[in-house]
Structure 1
């Protein structure tokens, strides 16, 4: 009798073990919905998080071009904003979910097509962000010494493609075109005392370049006025409080602004009051200065006498027509020339087409969609910047991605997505990639890269020293 009971117990344990094993394989053989997310940044992870939470049978695979996850949280957030990067902890929990898998080192559109993904999954969500630069469309913008803010940020934040940027910081004046948060991030990094940056995850080569920088003046140019400035109060306050710097703005830019102050919405009012406070405070002991220049638009990048690099920028002085947020900047005949050694264009990122099979609005630089459903392509969705354009902060992307996930879930519930069709999911894509010689990086393998970066940062008192070479990343991941 005792032997019979032991035998039954062993059988039960074996059945339970087999059941757990099937769960850990990501339910690839179960008929629940299989969803593919293209892009391992905030939009991708937030979309995956919502899908996994809402449906206990959903399986989500995240495909990312680089061997490392987290997109703009890793590569876009300023090094001196570590608190913003805490969201990585949430993304890591999602990546460790039994029904979620991360597949790094997969270039969707090249290694595997969108159509192949659509055949393998019930739904495909495009969340690949905005890796292109908006052009200024002016003479001289391709001269050495002119950079996009995206590339400059990538240089100090460790994007592999930007590691060779080598900006010349030996000049006195830098000009930044644009007055959004990214523009202020760049200005702050250029002017920050080195001691403030040494303990961050800024790249070592950027830290060394900034140590020898001779830039003492940064002009932040905007085409409209102080009442339309695009940054947030947090970013502006950081500029105002930056040690050893002073604000050096033009009083004429603030004429009559006091009369409209009382009628402004509260967020705009607080921002404007802080601007006025910075205007009126003087710190004559400061060695460096920053300044907003309003109602100015770039007309031409001026070349040095040898024609080989940028030496200045010509600006049109604008007049404003209309009122409030909808005010328009209209160029006048008046021009101003500013001498400078480096020009950084922070006029916006833009998404680029990923695959000929995906419709793309080239004028707006987004995938045309209706609340996340891609136009005229069933089973295809989008979230984040490729859906709405490069605007907002991480919380904006979170809400946007949750909205896309809700639409997708609604389509599952109403039968708009046919879940009765069995889809192979990652199993089919893995086989395809193998035949094409593409080796993926799992989240566990990314964690090897993460551990190595943290190890390299420790002797310098930094949270990490980012690897800048994809081949080095892959070597460590696959070791």
Structure 2
């Protein structure tokens, strides 16, 4: 360990024991090492939890978590479907994290607006960016002004009560056929939300305005379209199975897609060798897919079903077709086929277009083709992969040199893929790198005071949410949820309401 770092921390010995997965400390430090995390979603909390676990309390070590919204939780609060309360239970773990005396929370603080990143970096020994993926990919980048085209992310944030999306309008009461572009879990989520009986959503934390709109919905047919085949679909077996269990919904699968799928499986089977885990997952997905296909061809199965969920594959969206008023009437697709040459696995087999096209009529179109991160001022950004270039979470420049002490974790680090717990594994790698840099002196202590950030925000008249404020608001939401027989918090839906309720709570 460099001499200057040992002197700064007043340590006789500080090292990271990989085998035991923890720090050991000999001697008593008399200074405070401060880190900050930007973003309070799963990536931010799992990073904080990992740091709290590995750095012993005897080391004066604090973490400030910044969040642009008043509430912590990120994807857990605003991304998980309301009818999946079991997934949201991880919020209790995040709540315990916030109770730790080494953690501070500063909500309603937008990095880049309320405080610049370069200013933030002056206050902390290291900064970890966990800002997630705040934008969405699109098949139609030039389609501005078209009525009836939405991103799946926009719809998800709307029914989950995200403050920036409470005023969205989707006109479900005027639509009968909805087309969803994409084959991942988000596509399954929004399909299920539109097909499920609103009665089943009444005791969830769905936003009240979304529930009201779903009661008025006239949607009776949802068509989910993928560019490749069922074996390449990104949804999980759990998400797919939930749709098959909706009592009032018939699953529809085309004969031609099943035939092409079987041809693909036979040809790809001779070209690639999958791992046991991958083969097991694919087998489960395809078994359920085949069950749905067989059931969809039974005449007595379809007669009593009022709504239809159609799965279409091997179709790449080409263009939107609109009427004279700019409303979508059709989407034109180009048929595709998989290319077995060069495929490393079934899941990663590429496709190529054919000369056959097809038009599918619809009233609304939701794009669910992936999220993407957005660049942050002063931070390198990969515009092809839409993430921050990094090595093990350490941000690197265009010249591949480490920009210490700046780190990243979560979707902004690896791209928007995986489930919530994937961010836990990701955080472990980033934190391990941070601890290595702390141990070797790459991260240097800076003589600042914790109150300086708050003082700066106050001088700029920026109102921010403290940890105590957050607990007061969250407990209020939980109480309102219990009073309304909701399995979770009854969410406060706007920043204006936050300040009003906070004032009421503090006044007794």
Give the TM-score taking structure 2 as reference length.
0.85
Q: Deviations over 1:13-36 (max 9, x none)?
A: xxxxxxxxxxxxxxxx95232110
Q: Is the 8 A contact 1:138 1:300 kept in 2?
A: no
Residue in 2 that maps onto 1:60 = 63
Q: Is the 8 A contact 1:79 1:197 kept in 2?
A: yes
Provide the C-alpha distance between the structure 2 equivalents of 1:74 and 1:409, rounded to a whole number of angstroms.
29
Match status 1:359 vs 2:380: yes
Residue in 1 that maps onto 2:390 = 369
Q: Is the 8 A contact 2:394 2:407 kept in 1?
A: yes
Provide the C-alpha distance between the structure 2 equivalents of 1:451 and 1:427, rounded to a whole number of angstroms.
26
- Out of 473, 498, 506, the residue aligned to residue 449 of structure 1 is 473
SS in 1 for 2:35: strand
Match status 1:294 vs 2:301: no
**Structure 1 position 354, deviation (Å):** 2.2
Match status 1:334 vs 2:356: yes
**Structure 1 position 330, deviation (Å):** 1.5
Taking the TM superposition and a 5 Å limit, the aligned residue runs for 1:36-435 are 36-56=36-56, 57=59, 58-137=61-140, 140=143, 142-169=145-172, 170-255=174-259, 257=261, 260=265, 265-282=279-296, 283-284=301-302, 285-304=304-323, 306-322=324-340, 323=343, 324-355=346-377, 357-376=378-397, 377-419=403-445, 421-424=446-449, 426-435=450-459
Q: Deviations over 1:75-119 (max 9, x none)?
A: 000000000000001000110101001110110111111111111
SS in 1 for 2:347: helix
SS in 2 for 1:278: helix
SS in 1 for 2:246: coil
Provide the C-alpha distance between the structure 2 equivalents of 1:141 and 1:393, rounded to a whole number of angstroms.
31
Give 5+ residue unaligned stretches, structure 2.
1-28, 398-402
How many residues are treated as equivalent by the alignment? Answer: 447
**Structure 1 position 454, deviation (Å):** 3.1
**Structure 1 position 464, deviation (Å):** 3.1
Give 5+ residue unaligned stretches, structure 1.
1-28
Provide the C-alpha distance between the structure 1 equivalents of 2:390 and 2:244, rounded to a whole number of angstroms.
40
Q: Is the 8 A contact 2:178 2:222 kept in 1?
A: yes
Instruction: Using the TM superposition, name which of 357-366 and 98-107 deviates more.
Output: 357-366
Q: Is the 8 A contact 1:222 1:294 kept in 2?
A: yes
**Structure 1 position 341, deviation (Å):** 0.9
Instruction: Using the TM superposition, name which of 193-202 and 64-73 deviates more.
Output: 193-202
**Structure 1 position 444, deviation (Å):** 1.9
Q: Deviations over 1:445-469 (max 9, x none)?
A: 1222223333443454223332211
Q: Is the 8 A contact 2:224 2:310 kept in 1?
A: yes
* CA RMSD in angstroms, aligned pairs only: 1.8
Provide the C-alpha distance between the structure 2 equivalents of 1:272 and 1:474, rounded to a whole number of angstroms.
50
**Structure 1 position 331, deviation (Å):** 1.8
Q: Is the 8 A contact 1:122 1:423 kept in 2?
A: no
**Structure 1 position 141, deviation (Å):** 5.7
